[in-house]
Amino acid sequence: MNLSVQIDIVEVTTENLLADTTSGRTDRTVVVGGHLDSVAEGPGINDNGSGTAAILETALQMAELGIDPENRVRFAFWSGEEDGLIGSSHYVEQLSAREIKEHALNLNFDMIGSPNSVNFVYDGDGDAFGAAGPNGSALIEGVFTDFFASQGQSSDPTEFDGRSDYFGFIEAGIPAGGLFTGAEGIKSVEQAARYGGTAGIAYDPCYHAACDGIANVSAGALDIMSDAVAHSTLTFAETESAVNGTGKGKAKGQFDPQFKGSNAVK
Ligand SMILES: [Zn+2]
């Protein structure tokens, strides 16, 4: 068999955008991030205009309210996620071992307004899917599940599989957690009973498609998720305890991620 392939490889320069609070302990930096890029096929308003908008609004409200956090908060708008977690991987790769120790945790918000949503929380303790994050990730998961319970809302664990920008952080031993309202997965009858929406179709039928525009975002999902973003950011901005406990992870400052598309395979 002969196979001929024509391919154009275009190199582009792209940048992460980081904004730090001007006060707070720098040795317990809390990185609150989401990816700003989208796939080429569509505008990416749920994936991930939703996450970045909630992060931006949280930052603006903290400034407006004059909040002087105990720990520095670094708001991160990652580039190149859809091309293989490039921006966030670069960020972690360039940290020294000491700087890695000065990162308390990473919160990641990637898709939080899916039209047929479920309140998914990353399974940081691994009790649902087996893959646990670094020491501290279970505590982060608990902050989210407690928040949803306090609001009379259901929540479900989602696999901590490295499929978004927290991957570089957990590879470096930094605990992480975050939220997700679902992508190409199919809503079950049981989930539709608890969350509403439609069983048997995707959480986001416009995932990575041209129709991921403004009309693709559920205002109700974005509302409760934005509250969870603000609650978790403030919780970790103000905590006086170390999130990562005694286990500091590998803290090598170097890792070698491998991807299939944007799915981490190692
Ligand atoms: Zn995404």
In a domain, 5, yes or no: no
Task: Give the Å distance between the CA of 99 and the centre of ligand 1.
Answer: 26
Determine the structural domain holding residue 156 and report its residue range: 27-264
Residue from 15, 64, 70, 81 carrying the catalytic annotation: 81
Q: Which two tokens stand for residue 151?
A: 């609001």
Per-residue pLDDT of the chain (266 residues; tens, 9 = 90+): 999 999 888 888 999 999 999 999 999 999 999 999 999 999 999 999 999 999 999 999 999 999 999 999 999 999 999 989 999 999 999 999 999 999 999 999 999 999 999 999 999 988 899 888 898 899 999 999 999 999 999 999 999 988 999 999 999 999 999 999 999 999 999 999 999 999 999 999 999 999 999 999 999 999 999 999 999 999 999 988 777 653 343 333 333 333 344 333 43
In a domain, 12, yes or no: no
In a domain, 14, yes or no: no
Report the number of distinct structural domains present in the chain: 1
How many helices (H) does the chain have, and how many strands (E)?
A: 7, 9
Closest CA to 117 of 230, 202, 229, 231: 202
Annotation says 70 is catalytic = no
In a domain, 133, yes or no: yes
CA dihedral 230, 93, 86, 123 (to 10 degrees): -50
In a domain, 202, yes or no: yes
Domain of 243: which CATH number?
3.40.630.10
Strand 103-109 vs strand 176-180: parallel, antiparallel, or unpaired?
parallel
Task: Give the Å distance between the CA of 119 and the centre of ligand 1.
Answer: 16
Query: Are 163 and 262 within 8 A, CB to CB?
Result: yes
Which contiguous run of DSSP H or E holds residue 107?
A: strand 103-109
In a domain, 17, yes or no: no
Task: Give the Å distance between the CA of 109 and the centre of ligand 1.
Answer: 8
Alpha helices in 31-116, H assignment, sequence order:
51-64, 86-93, 97-101
In a domain, 177, yes or no: yes
In a domain, 124, yes or no: yes
Give the per-residue pLDDT at 243: 73
Task: Give the Å distance between the CA of 4 and the centre of ligand 1.
Answer: 32
Q: Which residue has the tokens 């997700």?
A: 180
Task: Give the Å distance between the CA of 161 and the centre of ligand 1.
Answer: 13
Query: Are 133 and 234 within 8 A, CB to CB?
Result: no
